[in-house]
Amino acid sequence: MSDALYNIPLTTINGESTTLAPYKGQILLIVNVASRCGFTKQYAELEQLYQDYKDQGFTVLGFPSNQFLYQEPGSEAEIKHFAEQCFRVTFPLFAKIQVRGPQQSALYAYLSKHIEKKRWPFIPWNFTKILVDQQGRILKRFPPTTALAKIRREIEQLLQTR
């Protein structure tokens, strides 16, 4: 297991410095989120995935980004309030970041370097999902249009290999 992923400095939605070290050994679904996107309703499905599998070694990690049509313009406090009040989100949220381009966060730079490229951009839009296994391997990238049922099956397969 490579520790590089788990040592990348991050900031929580509450402004606290952290890394992904607390999630080492878990299956991760890393998602760039936005409050004013057509896919925002996926917050509810992501929360359901989190609730269903959090006690089995799975977590969803939400990373707000304002890069796509400025669909996440709020402050961290506003983002947190929106996610908690509108979708009852309890999975970890982090400070707003850039997911691509010259100001790309260290996390997304690492993810983009270590995943197979397709014909479309690494992060084409909000609610792109990246699945990381228990060993820290970046397995798959799912576009925002991917049915959460498909991602659920992938998570269940990984949980069976524990």
Tens of each residue's pLDDT in the chain, 162 residues: 568 999 999 999 999 999 999 999 999 999 999 888 877 798 999 999 999 999 999 999 999 998 877 768 889 999 999 999 999 999 999 999 988 888 988 998 999 888 776 655 577 778 899 999 999 999 998 999 999 999 999 999 999 986
Nearest Cα residue to 65 out of 110, 41, 33: 33
Strand order through the sheet with 129-132:
58-64, 27-33, 129-132, 138-142
Q: 5-142: what fold? A: Glutaredoxin (3.40.30)
**Is 72 buried (19+), middle (13-18) or exposed (0-12) by CB count in 10 A?**
buried
Residue 147, pLDDT score: 92
Is 37 annotated in the active site? yes
Residue 119, pLDDT score: 54
Residue 118, pLDDT score: 61
Residue 100, pLDDT score: 86
Q: Answer whether 93's CB lies under 8 Å from 80's CB.
A: yes
> Parallel, antiparallel, or unpaired for β 27-33 and 129-132?
antiparallel
Q: Answer whether 20's CB lies under 8 Å from 5's CB.
A: yes
Residue 81, pLDDT score: 96
Rounded alpha-carbon distances, angstroms, from residue 32 to 87, 160, 161: 16, 26, 27
Residue extents of the structural domains in the chain: 5-142
Residue 3, pLDDT score: 86
Rounded alpha-carbon distances, angstroms, from residue 157 to 10, 25, 92, 135, 154: 29, 15, 23, 15, 5
Nearest Cα residue to 4 out of 158, 161, 151, 132: 132
Of the candidates 5, 37, 49, 60, the residue annotated as catalytic is: 37
